[in-house]
Amino acid sequence: MHITLDKSAGVQVVQPQHFAAFVTDVKEAGSVVPDGDAKTAVETVLALPALSTFLLRCSRADVFDGSVAADFSSNTKDLCMLRSLKQLKYFYNLPAGQLMQLLSGVVASDDVVAAKPWTALAERVFADEELCTMLIKHLIIGKTARESLKDIYEENAQYLLENDPHALYPTSIYRQGNGHVTSSDDSSRIEGVMSTTITTSIEIVRDVLNPKNHQLRDMYKPLKRCVAVVDERLDKLYGQKLCDYFVSHDIPFEKMSYRCMEVDKDISTVEKMLVDLKGRRVSRNEPVLIVGGGVMADVGGFACALYHRNTPYVMLCTSIVSGIDAGPSPRTCCDGLGYKNVFGAYHPPVLTLTDRYFFRTLEKGWIRHGIAEIIKMAVTKDHTLFEALEEAGQKLVDTKFGIEGVEAGSRFDTLSESIIAKAMDGYVRSEYGNLWETHQCRPHAYGHTWSPGFELQAGLLHGHAVSIGMGYGAYLSFLEGWISVTDFHRILNVISTVGLSLVHPILDNPNSLWQSQVKMTEKRGGNLCAPLPRGSIGKCGYLNDLTRARLEATLIDYKELCKAYPRGGAGIEPHCRDVGLEDPSTVKQHADHAVHAIATIGPAASDEVPEANGNGNGVEANGVEANGNGNSNVYNDWIAKQQVSRNQGATSSSLMASMVQIQAKDTEAPPAFPHTTLFHEGGEEYAQAMTTAASADFVNIAKETVAADLFAPCMVGAIEGQFLKMMAGMTKSKRVLDIGTFTGYSALAFAGGVPADGEVVTIEADKKCADVAQKCFDASADGSKIKLVRGDAMKVVSEMADSGEKFDIVFLDADKVNYAHYYEAGLKMLAEGGLIMADNALCSLVYADDDPVRLALHAFAQKVRADTRVEQVMLTVREGILLVRRV
Ligand SMILES: C[S@@+](CC[C@H](N)C(=O)[O-])C[C@H]1O[C@@H](n2cnc3c(N)ncnc32)[C@H](O)[C@@H]1O
């Protein structure tokens, strides 16, 4: 068969047999490749009828069509051709090096010996920098092109200009847009439809940084350089190897490295990358090389999505999670405003390379955590993958996926590689058909419905949280009659065998799972749509109904069942801290900022579920280095250099004054204080950033407060909330009286500090505040410990005191002018060793001169100071807390 171009047909079909025919023709033509000047040789081969007709046909093909892909789906060789075809379509716009390399690859895939002249030609072009990077169109239709070549290629270029401009002037060869517009006669109404086609390639590779491997060379040599965004930790481990690789191929290598731990996954890291990409003048069609794990895949991919609105990137995956999930994922993102993955864009890499070589530097705990994402694909998409996992078992962890102590080419080596490949296949099949998540039938969300409710709270590695979700999900599936009891136990077995968790003590609080379900349902457009195995292992169904009562009952049964499994169902090293990672409270820290942000910017903030995606909550290493210098000389030097000068303005008497009590006499008013806040801007924010973050329940209070249009600054906030919680815990308080509930922040903080059988009684007179508070308590993990009393606190506390109620802590935060009354009642109700804490005690300094509360607070502080029954300390926490106890 000879290749022809049917000009009248316009769009041409290209199938594997066209490649075969082309190869047959050009194999013979190989002998005509002239020696000498590489440019002349390229021009000569481009004039060959067999080659030119093939290229012209490719340029008119609809290479992204599903039926074309189906034609090439029978084997790996055909798939390689499909990948070549997707690039040959744009041959006018390809650099000569890339085109020659593609052509030699096509011939070599059929006959390596016959391809030698073509391979040699490609190498000659690669060696000629100017020619290597020159766009083919300059050689065939440019001003200085040979007339004989123009005769062959110009007419087709005209055709493309009119009918398929992408093929002639693409912005990038990896994307194609389409759409249509219909408008009324006067154009006052317009209906439009737009679509984008994105192409990508994924390969499981071996030793990609070995200079003999040409995958990265072939991509970057024609581009004149490689700009790389590298995870700082990976840079330390593989930076030199990366550099050596590109140096050996004489490709300028421009590397930028970034710390990519979970806590760095925010917009500031993305911004840094954007600035650096611009600084390097990266063009919008120059694929950036991204090297790293899950966080890097998310953040680096997001930076590329934003840069020039979208810039292609090659993802070199170095962890299991990035290798089979976050790496090829189109869902690039970063955290913000207290929510995981709240900012993002759908932007898959143009090429994903997964190389097990990098797994050798992963901790075993991280390997185990990564396997959870493979199990989810096996259970919902691919029973052969599941069987492979059953066969491989714990050895996958022990050998780091066949990398350690396993012979290359052995059965286990092949099995390990096929597990990675199948998991990747299942994942992208689920993702790419639903690129913009326009529907919720997403098998890869198996295990991710209930786990966000407890993952961070329990400090679990993402993989362990997901495996608990998968185990419980499998149980529900069994109860629904969707899978047999045997399949249910097979699923639990696979999870347990690799050391992943089936249960965790956090499940004793079913509320967190229920809250996650509620939020997930909201996020999934009103449907629970929980993916579960259905029919058999490897097939997926969706559970859309699960009442709270059923969740709680089935959870109890599930936990009981798991006791029969090794370790009672517990995982090996399930917590982040177990594998040397930062506790996820560092992630929750973002939530802390959100409390502030939401209170400041109002309800426009995102309602994303604080959820981990595939890349989990901390798959990267903790790169903090110990200082290790405890030398006292160093300390004294520092005092001399830094601190003496900083304290220069201080007099010896003022310094002494801070060491002893200032004996002030009572005054009618507090001293003048020319500020409206106690701290300078930045001080509290810094303190907050360094404080254990508030949980999602507090973010919820902040959100509900703003949504109800209540005055958010009334809340005690994140720093003081944490302080109250810790005070209750440290003093082992069991009963706390919280006077002045507002929307419940302080009450919930105390509830977090008292034991499971403890109680917080909180009093609120305002119905709207009390309603919001009750709603927030109901939705929270510790709300069941809180009793909300509605009514006037003046009356309620008197009655409580009269009836002999006792409390370990009495917190005053209602009407400040009545603090003296609450104080007296509080003293009566204090249990042995109990505390009174009066909030806003330093507001006497910052409230306006004409504000009566200012004087009332001042009088109250003086009253306590004069009270010989107690000792007290005025704490400069937030707006001041007067801490009092009986002596
Ligand atoms: C500063 S806010 C309390 C803030 C709360 N502790 C928190 O952390 O969110 C004071 C609350 O006390 C309530 N309040 C004021 N006087 C009261 C009274 N006599 N009886 C009951 N509640 C009162 C107000 O309605 C208001 O909601």
Distance 484 CA to ligand 1 centre (A): 55
Is the CB of residue 398 below 6 angstroms from any atom belonging to ligand 1?
no
**Those residues with Cβ within 8 angstroms of residue 727's Cβ, 6 or more apart along the chain or in another chain:** 733, 753, 809, 835, 837
Is the CB of residue 760 below 6 angstroms from any atom belonging to ligand 1?
no
* Candidate of 764, 771, 792, 797 to mutate for ligand 1, largest count of ligand atoms within 8 Å of Cβ: 764
**Structure tokens, 269:** 């890291």
Atom of ligand 1 nearest to the CA of 811: 6
Nearest by Cα to 227 from 293, 307, 129: 307
Cα–Cα dist 797/737, whole Å: 9
- CA separation, residue 774 to residues 45, 427, 695, 780, 783 (Å): 79, 42, 17, 10, 8
User: Mean pLDDT over all residues of the chain?
Assistant: 88
Is the CB of residue 742 below 6 angstroms from any atom belonging to ligand 1?
yes
Is the CB of residue 131 below 6 angstroms from any atom belonging to ligand 1?
no
**Structure tokens, 261:** 């731990």
Torsion, Cα of 599, 603, 608, 610 (10° steps): 20
Nearest by Cα to 202 from 100, 93, 317: 317
Is the CB of residue 815 below 6 angstroms from any atom belonging to ligand 1?
yes
| Beta pairing partners, 788 | 762
Is the CB of residue 765 below 6 angstroms from any atom belonging to ligand 1?
yes
* Range name among 279-283, 322-326, 394-398 with the lowest pLDDT average: 322-326
| Residue 811 confidence (pLDDT) above 70 | yes
pLDDT of residue 6: 81
| Beta pairing partners, 786 | 760
Atom of ligand 1 nearest to the CA of 766: 25
Atom of ligand 1 nearest to the CA of 793: 20
Nearest by Cα to 494 from 412, 393, 417, 377: 393
Distance 697 CA to ligand 1 centre (A): 20
Is the CB of residue 743 below 6 angstroms from any atom belonging to ligand 1?
yes
Is the CB of residue 425 below 6 angstroms from any atom belonging to ligand 1?
no
Return phi, psi of residue 878, to 5°.
50, -110
| Residue 171 confidence (pLDDT) above 60 | yes
* Range name among 322-326, 552-556, 765-769, 824-828 with the lowest pLDDT average: 322-326
The CA-to-CA distance between both ends of the chain, in Å, stands at: 103
Distance 485 CA to ligand 1 centre (A): 54
Q: What is the mean pLDDT of residues 190-203?
A: 92
Distance of CA 567 to the CA centre of its chain: 31
Q: What is the mean pLDDT of residues 840-844?
A: 94
Helix (H, G, I), strand (E, B), or coil: what is residue 631?
A: coil
Atom of ligand 1 nearest to the CA of 742: 27
pLDDT tens-digit map of 132-144: 999 999 999 999 9
Atom of ligand 1 nearest to the CA of 792: 20
| Beta pairing partners, 353 | 203, 316
Distance 714 CA to ligand 1 centre (A): 8
Distance 766 CA to ligand 1 centre (A): 8
Is the CB of residue 881 below 6 angstroms from any atom belonging to ligand 1?
no
Is the CB of residue 793 below 6 angstroms from any atom belonging to ligand 1?
yes
Distance of CA 405 to the CA centre of its chain: 33
Give, as one character, the DSSP assignment of residue 460.
B
| Residue 876 confidence (pLDDT) above 70 | yes
Is the CB of residue 813 below 6 angstroms from any atom belonging to ligand 1?
yes
Cα–Cα dist 12/6, whole Å: 7
pLDDT tens-digit map of 496-514: 999 999 999 999 989 889 9
Give, as one character, the DSSP assignment of residue 95.
B
Atom of ligand 1 nearest to the CA of 743: 9
pLDDT of residue 644: 59
pLDDT tens-digit map of 54-99: 999 999 999 999 999 999 987 888 999 999 999 999 999 999 999 9
Res. 664 pLDDT band, cuts 50 70 90: low
Is the CB of residue 762 below 6 angstroms from any atom belonging to ligand 1?
no
Domains in the chain, ordered, with CATH? 7-173 (no CATH), 196-361+582-622 (3.40.50.1970), 437-575 (1.20.1090.10), 683-886 (3.40.50.150)
| Residue 621 confidence (pLDDT) above 80 | no
Distance 106 CA to ligand 1 centre (A): 76
Atom of ligand 1 nearest to the CA of 720: 8
Share of the chain above pLDDT 90, in %: 69
Looking at per-residue pLDDT, the higher value among 262 and 678 belongs to 678
Distance 764 CA to ligand 1 centre (A): 6
pLDDT of residue 623: 26
Distance 821 CA to ligand 1 centre (A): 15
Distance 738 CA to ligand 1 centre (A): 9
Atom of ligand 1 nearest to the CA of 714: 1
The residue whose C-alpha atom lies closest to atom 16 belonging to ligand 1 is 815
Res. 8 pLDDT band, cuts 50 70 90: confident
| Beta pairing partners, 331 | 346
| Residue 616 confidence (pLDDT) above 80 | no
Looking at per-residue pLDDT, the higher value among 343 and 652 belongs to 343
Distance 734 CA to ligand 1 centre (A): 22
pLDDT of residue 647: 55
- CA separation, residue 280 to residues 41, 138, 228, 313, 531 (Å): 34, 26, 11, 15, 44
pLDDT tens-digit map of 88-105: 999 999 999 999 999 999
Res. 325 pLDDT band, cuts 50 70 90: confident
Distance 814 CA to ligand 1 centre (A): 4
Atom of ligand 1 nearest to the CA of 818: 19
pLDDT of residue 646: 59
pLDDT tens-digit map of 812-837: 999 999 999 999 999 999 999 999 99
The residue whose C-alpha atom lies closest to atom 7 belonging to ligand 1 is 715
* Candidate of 724, 799, 813 to mutate for ligand 1, largest count of ligand atoms within 8 Å of Cβ: 813
Cα–Cα dist 90/469, whole Å: 46
Distance 314 CA to ligand 1 centre (A): 56
Nearest by Cα to 201 from 385, 424, 420, 422: 424
pLDDT of residue 606: 32
Q: What is the mean pLDDT of residues 677-700?
A: 86
* Range name among 4-8, 79-83, 269-273, 883-887 with the lowest pLDDT average: 4-8
Distance 739 CA to ligand 1 centre (A): 7
| Residue 622 confidence (pLDDT) above 70 | no
ipTM exceeding cut-off 0.90 for this assembly: yes
Whether 600 and 594 have beta carbons less than 8 Å apart is answered as no
Distance 680 CA to ligand 1 centre (A): 27
- CA separation, residue 144 to residues 46, 137, 140, 147, 149 (Å): 15, 11, 9, 9, 11
Q: What is the mean pLDDT of residues 391-407?
A: 95
pLDDT of residue 341: 81
Share of the chain above pLDDT 70, in %: 90
Distance 339 CA to ligand 1 centre (A): 29
Distance 68 CA to ligand 1 centre (A): 69
pLDDT tens-digit map of 729-775: 999 999 999 999 999 999 999 999 999 999 999 999 999 999 999 99
